[in-house]
Structure 1
Amino acid sequence: MSLPAAAEQASGPALVAASTLQGADTAWLMVSTALVLLMTLPGIALFYGGMVRRFNVINTMASVVGIAALVSVLWFALAYSLAFTPGGAAGGFIGGLERIGFAGLDFLGSTGQVAVSHMARHVPESVFAMFQLTFAIITCALVVGALVERMRFAALLLFTALWLLAVYVPIAHWVWEPGGWLAQLGALDFAGGAVVHINAGAAALVVAYALGPRSGYGREPFVPFNLGLTMAGTGLLWVGWFGFNAGSALAADGRAGLAMAVTHLAAASGAIAWMAAEWLARKRATLLGLCSGVVAGLVAITPAAGFVTLRGALVIGLVAGVACYWGATALKRMLRADDSLDVFGVHGVGGLVGAVLTGLLADPAISGVQASLTAQLIACVAVLGYSVLMTTVVLWVTSRFVALRVSEGAERTGLDLSLHNEQLGH
């Protein structure tokens, strides 16, 4: 979120006169909320669904839809309060309980007052909370790319519920709530380089190791179902990312406009850099490579979007395109993990690249603060380490209640039929 605006300390959510709300800011944040949700439904569902094998497409899409529904209910029940309210003595690490069940968020028409967050005082808190919900949804959905084609659906849902509360919520509080310890340290993360991408990438790697490789991995070809769907998903991600990054200004202002421009430029330069790297290494360009490069550029610009110039965005996109190509190829071979759809290689590596380059390229005239490379590195290590550790714990707890992986027979049949008794038409 926009750190200079968020850094204004306040005691917590409050009631203000409805007349103090800014209509343009409210409208833009509502549009941004819809755009970010569009990134998951159907963006991620199409992006991932097109890359898995034909007999696992329905399971992949069902996983994304199931996560969106589950995270939404948990967000209203508990997660929002723990992530985005001050936490008293424990405020640097976790939020408070005053917004459990979204208590106090009703528009109080009889008094002419409305609830607002201390982080966005010119829009209704209900809109801010919904905007933040869409970030939680897509972060959890990104992890699906590492576990497709072999994880039990029930295990996925239980894992997601526990992971949201034990991993995503604390990290969001550390980085984005003004009293969070990384926010206090001066770490900059405009729209989720650490909270979303490093976090999801680290979790994806842990899950891939825990589940083990897919049956036949490395010995037989895994033919994507339909890269046309993946391209359509990429387009929805690209467009939706304008809400992701420009919406994080929490206002319809110049910072939002800049964030939109740098987002587009980084996506384009990421695609060009990945294509160039692939062309040099494999003597050809591919649609999947272009789509992956777009996402790499988008991921890397996310933490920097409200802090860098257009030239900075060009550098970030170019570096990310090459770094993420390496992450999805050479690094993946080194790690020996069947991270099926390269979540760590693209989101983990891209998030790290973006977070570090934010510390180097942030312009104080734009950001309003002086970036610290040390703070950025501490945030990267803290988020990566915490996500790895707690994802391991969450997986272990999940495994105590339900087996994580389907049987070999179910895997060979395909999860569409074995788990859902559904299949694509011929």
Structure 2
Amino acid sequence: MAPMPLNVGNTAFMLLCASLVMLMTPGLAFFYGGLVGRKNVLTIMTQSFVSLGWTTVLWFAFGYSMCFGPSWHGIVGDPTHYAFLKGITLQTMFTGNDAGIPLIVHVAYQMMFAIITPALITGAFANRVTFKAYFLFLTGWLIFVYFPFVHMVWSPEGILAKWGVLDFAGGIVVHNTAGFAALASILYVGKRKVVENVAHNVPLIALGTGLLWFGWYGFNAGSELKVDSVTASAFLNTDVAASFAAATWLMVEWMNAKQPKFVGLLTGAVAGLATITPAAGYVSLSTAALIGILAGVICYYAVALKNKLGWDDALDVWGVHGVGGLIGVIFLGVFASKAWNPAGTDGLLLGGTGFFGKQMAAVLISSVWAFGFTYGMLWIIDRITPVRVGVAAEEKGLDTELHGEEAYPQGI
């Protein structure tokens, strides 16, 4: 069989998309950094940038192989097959579709997803987790949650993929797993002793949101892994859903708080981006607008519920990413249309009852596993090294206590 010829356009596009997704992790660092207090800015930004480095190491060593190597019962790939990217040369082509891109491009693109996913979780336990515990958490969570779900959903040999579950760009794999891991982490770690619910730097949040929104085009449109009309619809669906969600959140909060809040607008945009992610390449433009509106309302009230229940999810990871990813997968089960992606399927509204049921089952499985494993892993880590910082460290601020650095040194 002759090797697939290189498609220069698709290769260039996917390298650009990988770069955009990489930019989302620094964007997340700015977003989270602006939301926390002045004494904890560097700590939460460090957690994102540590993922940028350490996740790459794990991905190179065995992560890509666990995700896309030969399957073990459809659950996880053989970690030795592509270990240290052995056997991958300039001539090795990605065979998952007819895109004509080198395998090294697929390795790079998927690596950027692996980097940002665990970093999303850090906003939930902001200001109260030791760095040693976070490092162990990052490693274990990638190995036992993220890598297996990538394989199950996105590898052709994955059990959920074979079953017919769809997730265009990470509603299950990224946002749902991260969101419910966040919920488990806040319930295990407990509430902050020193609560700072006022964002210390709103312009920093806006910068982070802009970078996330910009990078999300690579996140969603790039998940087609080539350039075609589905790529274009996924691109526009991403912007439409984010915009409608931002406007909806703004108006809902305006009605409740009697003032239009800039941080609410920014948070609503991120909720819309998370919610459209699984459906971006499978639904119409009008559906994307509806999904954005629903995301703005549902995620806003999910955060309100979290507050009512007293869960100390510091930066609303569960309400935005967990709930956004969950409802996005469900909406995909309802609204999917082969008219907008012939390689997809039809959702509940077009007679796809079985597909809707599979989406519901998949999101339940991912939620339960991410929550249960995360809670158990934190318990194990606590036996090795304390997960939580002491009260004195919380009062002093983790930047100085854990890292010996300050974002805003006094007198400067």
Displacement after TM superposition at 1:406 (Å): 0.9
Is 1:168 matched with 2:151? no
| 1:95 maps to amino acid | G
Matches within 5 A, 1:122-141: 122-141=100-119
Cα distance between partner residues in 1 of 2:88 and 2:226: 20
The aligned residue for residue 392 of structure 2 is: 409
Secondary structure of residue in 1 paired with 2:278:
helix
Cα distance between partner residues in 1 of 2:259 and 2:189: 33
Q: For 2:64, which of 76, 80, 105 is the aligned residue? A: 80
C-alpha distance after superposition, 1:77-96 (max 9, x if no partner): 01110111231xx2411112
8 Å Cα contact 1:16-1:116 kept in structure 2:
no
The aligned residue for residue 364 of structure 2 is: 381
Moved more, 117-126 or 204-213: 117-126
The aligned residue for residue 28 of structure 1 is: 13
Q: For 1:71, which of 41, 51, 55 is the aligned residue? A: 55
The aligned residue for residue 273 of structure 2 is: 298
Secondary structure of residue in 1 paired with 2:274:
helix
The aligned residue for residue 351 of structure 2 is: none
Q: For 1:313, which of 280, 288, 296 is the aligned residue? A: 288
Cα distance between partner residues in 2 of 1:100 and 1:128: 15
8 Å Cα contact 1:57-1:416 kept in structure 2:
yes
Q: For 2:346, which of 347, 355, 370 is the aligned residue? A: 370
| 2:360 maps to amino acid | L
Displacement after TM superposition at 1:58 (Å): 0.8
Unaligned runs of 5+ in 2: 348-354
Secondary structure of residue in 1 paired with 2:40:
helix
Q: For 1:267, which of 235, 242, 251 is the aligned residue? A: 242
Displacement after TM superposition at 1:27 (Å): 0.6
Displacement after TM superposition at 1:223 (Å): 2.6
Cα distance between partner residues in 2 of 1:401 and 1:117: 42
**Which runs of structure 1 show a deviation greater than 6 angstroms over 4 or more consecutive aligned residues?**
none
Displacement after TM superposition at 1:334 (Å): 4.2
Cα distance between partner residues in 1 of 2:2 and 2:61: 24
8 Å Cα contact 2:206-2:266 kept in structure 1:
yes
| 2:115 maps to amino acid | I
Q: For 2:176, which of 198, 217, 220 is the aligned residue? A: 198
Q: For 1:93, which of 66, 75, 80 is the aligned residue? A: 75
8 Å Cα contact 1:117-1:128 kept in structure 2:
no
Matches within 5 A, 1:27-426: 27-40=12-25, 42-87=26-71, 90-96=72-78, 97-107=80-90, 113-118=91-96, 122-217=100-195, 222-329=197-304, 331-368=305-342, 369-371=345-347, 372-423=355-406, 424-425=408-409, 426=412
Secondary structure of residue in 2 paired with 1:187:
coil
Cα distance between partner residues in 2 of 1:391 and 1:418: 26
The 3 A distance-change label for structure 1 pair 153 and 117 is farther
| 1:24 maps to amino acid | G
Give the superposed CA RMSD.
1.4
C-alpha distance after superposition, 1:256-298 (max 9, x if no partner): 1111011000010000110111011111111110000100110
Cα distance between partner residues in 1 of 2:61 and 2:360: 33
Alignment TM-score, normalising by the size of structure 2: 0.94
The 3 A distance-change label for structure 1 pair 164 and 128 is same
The 3 A distance-change label for structure 1 pair 16 and 397 is farther
| 2:388 maps to amino acid | R
8 Å Cα contact 2:241-2:292 kept in structure 1:
yes
| 1:402 maps to amino acid | T
Cα distance between partner residues in 2 of 1:173 and 1:302: 18
Unaligned runs of 5+ in 1: 1-14, 108-112
Secondary structure of residue in 1 paired with 2:123:
helix
Secondary structure of residue in 2 paired with 1:57:
helix
The aligned residue for residue 352 of structure 2 is: none
Secondary structure of residue in 1 paired with 2:92:
strand
Moved more, 395-404 or 28-37: 395-404
Cα distance between partner residues in 1 of 2:119 and 2:2: 35
Cα distance between partner residues in 2 of 1:257 and 1:119: 18
8 Å Cα contact 1:59-1:415 kept in structure 2:
yes
